[in-house]
């Protein structure tokens, strides 16, 4: 509970720091590249295969009820509301969360963070807020790309005509479906960045501690993503209905 309290305080401080003492644009650009651009290929591959797998299975099931023509809509709703935000976040929690925790953890155990402070810099401004801002920008952008790629994957293996597929898919792009899909990446990005930075900066016990921090960052942020996904999904369902 004490750690949870420390994390909550840290995550709020990170947000305040990002507003009050914005990081240098060069630091943010470096992180946009390292955390976002370099994750693009892996997300495209994930989206493509998820879209293909779901379409093959669901199309066969829906055919039993004579509802195969609605596959585009079904896939688009699932993608926009759940699949793209959650899969993008999970991929980044694995790739980026571990990277951030290991990077900051090894800086902690080799006294590089003490050096940063000794050289008159605030580690929150230098290390945490650039990563937080980068994820708040890149995760929504990557989720958008994931939306398109997942639909494209489904389209490639679907047996319904292209016109019908895209006509039905377009129906998913309404506010009640989009609201969750647009909100979730910001929340997930915030969770991944703050959890990974928090665990990385509190690393101890040398190299072993770095490995543990990286593993814990992935597990904790993944669980936090699922929890937040449920809460947001529930709230949006209450607000907009089915």
Q: Which residues bind other proteins (CB under 8 A)?
A: 24, 110-112, 114-115, 117-122, 126
Q: Supply the minimum distance, in Å, between the C-beta of residue 114 and other proteins.
A: 6
Q: Supply the minimum distance, in Å, between the C-beta of residue 126 and other proteins.
A: 8
Angle (deg, nearest 10), helices 175-201 and 2-20: 110
Q: Supply the minimum distance, in Å, between the C-beta of residue 196 and other proteins.
A: 18
Q: Supply the minimum distance, in Å, between the C-beta of residue 108 and other proteins.
A: 11
Nearer residue to other proteins within complex by CB, 32 or 228 = 32
Q: Supply the minimum distance, in Å, between the C-beta of residue 64 and other proteins.
A: 56
Nearer residue to other proteins within complex by CB, 5 or 118 = 118
Nearer residue to other proteins within complex by CB, 111 or 161 = 111
Which two structure tokens, joined as six digits, stand for 4?
A: 């949870």
Nearer residue to other proteins within complex by CB, 112 or 161 = 112
Nearer residue to other proteins within complex by CB, 121 or 159 = 121
**How would DSSP label each residue in the chain?**
-HHHHHHHHHHHHHHHHHHHSPPPHHHHHHHIIIIIGGGHHHHHHHHHHHHHHHHHHHHHHHHHTT-GGGHHHHHHHHIIIIIHHHHHHHHHIIIIIHHHHHHHHHHHHTTHHHHHHHTT--HIIIIIHHHHHHHHHHHHHHHHHHHHHHHHHHHHH--S-HHHHHHHHHTT-SHHHHHHHHHHHHHHHHHHHHHHHHHHHT--SHHHHHHHHHHHHHHHHHHHHHHHHHHHHHHHHHHH--
Nearer residue to other proteins within complex by CB, 162 or 206 = 206
Q: Supply the minimum distance, in Å, between the C-beta of residue 112 and other proteins.
A: 5
């Amino acid at each position: 509970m004490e750690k949870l309290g420390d994390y909550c305080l840290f995550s709020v401080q990170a947000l305040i720091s990002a507003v009050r003492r914005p990081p240098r644009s060069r630091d943010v650009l470096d992180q946009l590249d390292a955390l976002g651009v370099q994750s693009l290929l892996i997300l495209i591959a994930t989206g493509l295969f998820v879209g293909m797998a779901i379409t093959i299975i669901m199309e066969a099931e829906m055919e039993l009820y004579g509802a195969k023509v609605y596959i585009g809509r079904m896939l688009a709703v699932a993608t926009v509301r759940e699949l793209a935000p959650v899969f993008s976040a999970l991929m980044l929690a694995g790739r980026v969360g571990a990277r951030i925790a290991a990077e900051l953890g090894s800086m902690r155990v080799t006294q590089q963070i003490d050096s940063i402070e000794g050289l008159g810099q605030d580690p929150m401004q230098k290390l945490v807020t650039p990563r937080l801002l980068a994820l708040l920008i890149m995760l929504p952008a990557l989720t958008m790309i994931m939306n398109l790629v997942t639909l494209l994957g489904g389209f490639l293996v679907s047996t319904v005509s292209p016109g019908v597929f895209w006509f039905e898919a377009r129906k998913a792009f309404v506010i009640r479906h989009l609201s969750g899909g647009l909100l979730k990446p910001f929340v997930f990005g915030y969770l991944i960045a703050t959890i990974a930075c928090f665990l990385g900066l509190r690393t101890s016990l040398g190299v072993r501690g770095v490995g543990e921090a990286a593993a814990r960052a992935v597990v904790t942020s993944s669980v936090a993503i699922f929890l937040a996904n449920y809460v947001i999904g529930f709230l949006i369902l209450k607000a907009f209905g089915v």
